[in-house]
Chains A and B, each alone.
Chain A
Amino acid sequence: MAAVKAGESTTAASEKATHGAAPKSPGRQNPVLRVVKASDPLALAGMIIILAAWYVVTEQGWVRPVFLPAPEQVFRFAEAHFLESRLVQTQNLGDGGILENLIYTTTSVWLAVLLAIIVAVPIGLASARVQFLRMFSDPSLLTLGAVPVLILMPFFLVWFGVSRNGQLLLLVLVAVPIIYVYAQRAVTNLDPVYAQSALVLGVGRVRLIKDVYLRGTLPEILGGVRIALAGSWSIAAIAELMGAPQGMGRLISTFAANTNITGIFATILILAIVATLTDITLKAVFMFANRWGSVNK
């Protein structure tokens, strides 16, 4: 995802264009259209094939429903327990249904990634330029990235009790090293000529950071955010197992304890859909931020 220099990709374009028509500029795009474009049709097709296989396998009775419930069964369960569920309520997982737990987990993930962005982006950007900062940030944050942070969960349980804070901190600790590395690398990849050019044009310090360092690195940083976010969903669910008032992870473990296979499938399916939709939205944002670049992912 290197910031490709503009000149390299266009050397083929003819100088003749100087006297010809303007090159085609991608016009203003509808945000909805952007999201649709960001959703990969191939991935969508793959998802449909998996669903179809699931349907066939259960319909033909090749796998017993105790091990793998039929899709309709799972959908029906999800629908019945989505907003209001006695089953969920009696397990002490809130006053509503699956939705309430979904909101809990989603909030944790989004909030944690947002906090991680606020922490990691400035440090990452600055560390690429300030050697003194990198001296401290590199060893500590890269070590953190290598530590299996889940082992910290029991400590957090002691420190924070059964609350959201422990999971939030854990998720932040997972996301920060990823976003940090992406932000640092983005600045390293940014050709110093842009900052020099801005300085020669008479730029001030604030504009230099905003117009050159931030705008020039935004697509790469967003790429890092996407990766951090993708990993956060499963970490969030696992973190909830060790102590959370509610959440999709708690829901899965409760269903597992009651051998409610259909419930587990329904929960995982809903979580997967939300994670995928989040990713598609973020990808659309990425494509918008990168509309000037030749990076296309």
Chain B
Amino acid sequence: MTAVTENHKTTEQVENSGPVHGAELVATNVNKVYSRAGQKFHAVEDVSVTIKPGEFVCIVGPSGCGKSTMMNMATGLLEPTDGELALDGEPIRGPSPDRGLVFQKDSVFPWMKVIDNVTYGLKCRGVPKEERMSIARKFLAEVNLTHVEKSWPKELSGGMLKRVAIATAFSNAPKLLLMDEPFASVDYVTRLQLQKTVLDLWAEHRLTVMFVTHDVDEALTLADRIIVMTNGRVVDDRRVAAERPRRLEALSTPTMLEHKASMLQHLGLPTEGGA
């Protein structure tokens, strides 16, 4: 049982001013048990977490630690076996545009042009054409893709497709943005660029972000708060107070290195002298 409760001062976590659009995500004693071939597998075990409005939270853990399962339950694509997740007090039942998701895989529809992908969520919700086009163009501009709005996705690189996915998610104005190892498959330089894009958009639109990654450095670069999961449990929950943007120097301060060492320890890696 690892119920994590912390006292957060929401006003201090966000460096930028302006209204927060993000919602509060509360997970209460969430369990997820998979049965595969008669064998029961506890993917998520008794997780209780509160993510404050506007917070940028990273969930770090090795493959199979339950972080993606947590994410899928927050989107509503999966139902918890036991316990409850709620967004702003509303229990989560099934997917909703309130909760956007950027997938690890390429999820941009290859059969729609870039602009039609970005406007698709708005179209589904009946937003008039003029309005959805202007919203989509705004976000395409923010991710530097204005010049490819009429292109087919097959004409774009992997990094550009991620940008389309990000623009699509933001266009839909979610209160909570879930990102499931979104940059795991792009090259290092592109990943750094994409991290900056996400941080900029987050700072501007002030939504709540839950970002799953297996990369400790990525989490330290991005997050206000880092939750470490192993074997379906939360084993560590820490706040990262450093200012953004966090460049190389910011990531090598004693505090940051301490964060990193401590997290690696929680992940089961010896960090000092191999002892």
Interface residues of B in 135-188 (CB under 8 A from A): 144-145, 147-148, 150-161, 163, 168, 172, 185, 187
Interface size class of A (residues with CB under 8 A): 35 or more
Interface residues of A in 1-51 (CB under 8 A from B): 3, 5-7, 9-15, 17-19, 21-25
The complex places the Cα of A98 from the Cα of B112 at a distance, in Å, of: 45
Decide yes or no whether B4 CB sits under 8 A from chain A: no
Decide yes or no whether A203 CB sits under 8 A from chain B: yes
B158 near A7: Cβ-Cβ < 8 Å: yes
Given the known inter-chain contacts A7-B106, A202-B95, A202-B124, please indicate yes or no for A22 contacting B147, CB distance below 8 A: yes
B124 near A204: Cβ-Cβ < 8 Å: yes
Decide yes or no whether A216 CB sits under 8 A from chain B: yes
Decide yes or no whether B125 CB sits under 8 A from chain A: yes
B37 to chain A, nearest CB (A): 17
Decide yes or no whether A196 CB sits under 8 A from chain B: yes
Pick the residue among B110, B147, B163, B172 that contacts A293 (CB under 8 A): B110
With a CB–CB cut-off of 8 A, which chain A residues contact B158? 7, 10-11
Decide yes or no whether A291 CB sits under 8 A from chain B: yes
B111 near A215: Cβ-Cβ < 8 Å: yes
Decide yes or no whether B213 CB sits under 8 A from chain A: no
Chain B: CB-nearest residue to A204: B124
Decide yes or no whether A207 CB sits under 8 A from chain B: yes
With a CB–CB cut-off of 8 A, which chain A residues contact B193? 15
Please list the residues of chain A having a beta carbon within 8 angstroms of any beta carbon in chain B.
Answer: 3, 5-7, 9-15, 17-19, 21-25, 191, 193-194, 196-204, 207, 211-212, 215-216, 218, 291-294
The complex places the Cα of A292 from the Cα of B155 at a distance, in Å, of: 9
Please list the residues of chain B having a beta carbon within 8 angstroms of any beta carbon in chain A.
Answer: 75, 77, 95-97, 99-101, 103, 105-112, 120-121, 124-125, 144-145, 147-148, 150-161, 163, 168, 172, 185, 187, 189-190, 193
With a CB–CB cut-off of 8 A, which chain A residues contact B125? 202
B77 near A200: Cβ-Cβ < 8 Å: yes
A193 near B96: Cβ-Cβ < 8 Å: no
The complex places the Cα of A199 from the Cα of B77 at a distance, in Å, of: 8
The 7 closest A-B pairs by CB, nearest first: A201-B121, A202-B97, A197-B107, A6-B110, A7-B106, A23-B155, A13-B157
With a CB–CB cut-off of 8 A, which chain B residues contact A3? 110
Pick the residue among B107, B160, B185 that contacts A18 (CB under 8 A): B160
A215 to chain B, nearest CB (A): 5
A59 to chain B, nearest CB (A): 50
